[in-house]
């Protein structure tokens, strides 16, 4: 393979609907569903409101997916959000987004998930004082090798990991049903649907508590938008992305509701609210120490699944920006035989490893990465929601195989949710948020340097 061939090769439609659904489900279903439910139960205070929050999260995510489906159907591109932002706002905003994904959003998410994997693997096999960071780094290196082999290898790996991840959630549902049906250790629990209906009117959480619960619900649903980066590699019509997103979110919502019902059956609302590790508590009550071990493995697999899927889609943004900026052309090389942007993938993994080292030097690597990524992520998510409206006005003649229904109500509703999440993330996080914003500022300086260099080259050639 020559350098010229790699630079002029393009992504090909090689992914089927099944592989796309596996990637989307793998990104979304991560460690959050094993941690967030206890916090949501605590903030809502009743089964009815708690279940309503999870349903609302699915509905809001689906509204966002409708917006992304229109954008991806009209402009299928490996750059995903980067390409949409470029069309709507120009090169500067899209470059800042690409920098944010490379240095904050994607790499921070990979590092965050690596720490989750490391924490649970350390519970099974500790590797010393920096065990979580070591396990996390090993996971990144191994999955980078898998992805470098090509899209077929990474998609196949994703399908198997997603299957294992879903089976872990099925295990939680089975544990809840076992306890509900009278398994040893079960506490008396009222029929959950009736309890939920009664509590919805008798115990109403404050708007502040309900809003805080939604922060964690939507974080747990987060990641479905990454499917936009696969739009150029998805076989079938341009409406295929809508089908992939719709099937994925429907499956995820059903799974999340089933898992939360299992927690309620097994532990009750107060037991959930008081639990520090709700999944482990449920499995311990149902199956003892063996259950704890199994759920630790399930969480580790969930983290691996999300890391792998995030690597697949994240490297596509780096590839797209390398195509648009000559000074970064090395990132824009596509390996035609393997079907992967190899240089962009390696650069992404190297930065993620640096963040693991940084987080490993602190006491709470996971929390630092959450703080680091949230504000920057919701800023650009909001801009993408508004981009749909901007492009409807600016490019009305562009064929749109799919259009968001109830336009512009649904896009504006989704944009409002993004603004609320941005405010919540800034109010919730501290030092980590400042670090993430600081890195974004560095991206602005880099943009100025690149534009100045380009201007000088134009002047020199004239």
Residue-wise pLDDT for 176-205, tens only, equals 878 777 655 444 443 444 444 444 445 688
Residue 187, pLDDT score: 45
Among 86-100, 256-270, 280-294, 382-396, the minimum mean pLDDT is found in 280-294
Residue 78, pLDDT score: 61
Rounded Cα–Cα distance for residues 222 and 248 (Å)? 12
Residue 63, pLDDT score: 92
Residue 339, pLDDT score: 64
For range 308-330, the mean pLDDT? 73
Residue-wise pLDDT for 87-113, tens only, equals 999 989 988 988 888 889 889 889 988
* Whether the predicted pLDDT of 150 surpasses 50: yes
For range 324-353, the mean pLDDT? 75
Rounded Cα–Cα distance for residues 124 and 115 (Å)? 14
Which burial class, exposed, middle or buried, applies to 187 when counting CB atoms under 10 A from its CB (0-12, 13-18, 19+)?
exposed
Token couple for 227: 């499917």
Rounded Cα–Cα distance for residues 369 and 353 (Å)? 13
**Which pLDDT band holds residue 428 (cuts at 50, 70, 90)?**
low
Token couple for 360: 């490993």
pLDDT: which is higher, 140 or 32: 140
Rounded Cα–Cα distance for residues 238 and 240 (Å)? 5
Cβ neighbours of residue 79 closer than 8 Å, sequence gap 6 or more: 86, 229, 316, 317, 319, 320, 321
Q: Let me know: does 254 contact 169? Beta carbons within 8 Å.
A: no
Residue-wise pLDDT for 44-88, tens only, equals 988 989 999 999 999 999 999 889 888 888 887 766 788 889 999
Q: Let me know: does 36 contact 259? Beta carbons within 8 Å.
A: no
Residue 389, pLDDT score: 95
Question: Which residues is 335 bridged to in the sheet?
Answer: 340
For range 367-394, the mean pLDDT? 88
Residue-wise pLDDT for 279-318, tens only, equals 878 888 888 878 878 887 878 887 887 788 788 777 776 7
For range 320-333, the mean pLDDT? 69
DSSP string, 41-96: HHHH-SHHHHHHHHHHHHHHHHHHHHHHHHHHHHS--TTTHHHHHHHHH-HHHHHH
* Whether the predicted pLDDT of 157 surpasses 70: no
* Whether the predicted pLDDT of 383 surpasses 90: yes
Q: Name the percent of the chain lying above pLDDT 70.
A: 79
Q: Which residues of 228-267 are buried (b: 16+ CB within 10 A; e: fewer)?
A: bbbbbbbeeebebbbbbbebbbebbbebbebbbbbbbbbb
Q: What is the pTM of this model?
A: 0.74
Which burial class, exposed, middle or buried, applies to 174 when counting CB atoms under 10 A from its CB (0-12, 13-18, 19+)?
middle
Residue 54, pLDDT score: 95
For range 26-53, the mean pLDDT? 84
- Backbone phi and psi for residue 37, each to the nearest 5 degrees, phi listed first: -55, -35
Domains and CATH numbers, the chain: 6-461 (1.20.1740.10)
Neighbours of 397 (CB within 10 A): 5
Residue-wise pLDDT for 198-216, tens only, equals 444 456 888 778 877 887 8
For range 142-154, the mean pLDDT? 76
């Amino acid at each position: 393979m020559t350098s010229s061939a790699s630079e002029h090769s393009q992504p090909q439609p090689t992914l089927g609907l099944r592989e796309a659904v596996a990637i989307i489900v793998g990104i979304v279903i991560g460690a959050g569903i094993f941690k967030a439910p206890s916090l949501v139960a605590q903030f809502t205070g009743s089964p009815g409101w708690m279940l309503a929050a999870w349903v609302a999260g699915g509905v809001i995510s689906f509204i966002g997916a409708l917006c992304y489906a229109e954008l991806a159907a009209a402009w299928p591109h490996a750059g995903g959000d980067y390409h949409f932002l470029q069309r709507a706002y120009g090169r500067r905003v899209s470059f800042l987004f690409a920098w944010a994904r490379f240095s904050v959003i994607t790499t921070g998410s990979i590092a965050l998930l690596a720490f989750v994997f490391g924490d649970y693997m350390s519970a099974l096999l500790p590797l010393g004082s920096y065990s979580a960071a070591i396990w996390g780094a090993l996971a990144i290196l191994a999955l980078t090798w898998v992805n470098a082999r090509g899209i077929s290898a990474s998609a196949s790996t994703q399908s198997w990991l997603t299957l294992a991840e879903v089976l872990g959630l099925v295990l939680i549902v089975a544990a809840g049903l076992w306890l509900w049906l009278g398994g040893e250790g079960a506490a008396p629990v009222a029929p959950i649907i009736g309890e939920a209906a009664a509590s919805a009117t008798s115990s109403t959480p404050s708007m502040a508590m309900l809003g805080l619960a939604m922060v964690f619900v939507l974080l747990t649903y987060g990641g479905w938008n990454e499917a936009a980066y696969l739009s150029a590699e998805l076989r079938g019509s341009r409406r295929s992305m809508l089908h992939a997103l719709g099937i994925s979110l429907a499956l995820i919502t059903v799974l999340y509701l089933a898992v939360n019902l299992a927690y309620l059956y097994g532990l009750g609302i107060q037991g959930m609210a008081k639990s520090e590790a709700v999944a482990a508590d449920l499995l311990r009550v149902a199956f003892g120490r063996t259950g704890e071990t199994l759920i630790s493995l399930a969480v580790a697999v969930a983290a691996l699944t999300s890391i792998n899927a995030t690597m697949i889609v994240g490297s596509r943004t780096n590839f797209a920006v390398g195509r648009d900026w000559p000074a970064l052309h090395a990132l824009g090389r596509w390996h035609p035989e393997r079907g992967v942007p190899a240089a962009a993938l390696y650069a992404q993994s190297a930065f993620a490893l640096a963040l693991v080292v940084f987080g490993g030097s602190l006491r709470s690597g996971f929390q630092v990465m959450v703080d680091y990524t949230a504000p920057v992520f919701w800023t650009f998510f909001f801009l993408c929601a508004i981009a749909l409206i901007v492009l409807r006005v600016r490019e009305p003649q562009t064929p749109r195989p799919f259009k968001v229904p109830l336009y512009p109500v649904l896009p504006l509703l989704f944009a409002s949710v993004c603004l609320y999440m941005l405010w919540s993330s800034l109010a919730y996080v501290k030092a980590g948020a400042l670090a993430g914003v600081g890195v974004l500022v560095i991206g602005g300086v880099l943009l100025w340097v690149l534009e100045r260099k380009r201007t000088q080259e134009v002047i020199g050639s004239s």
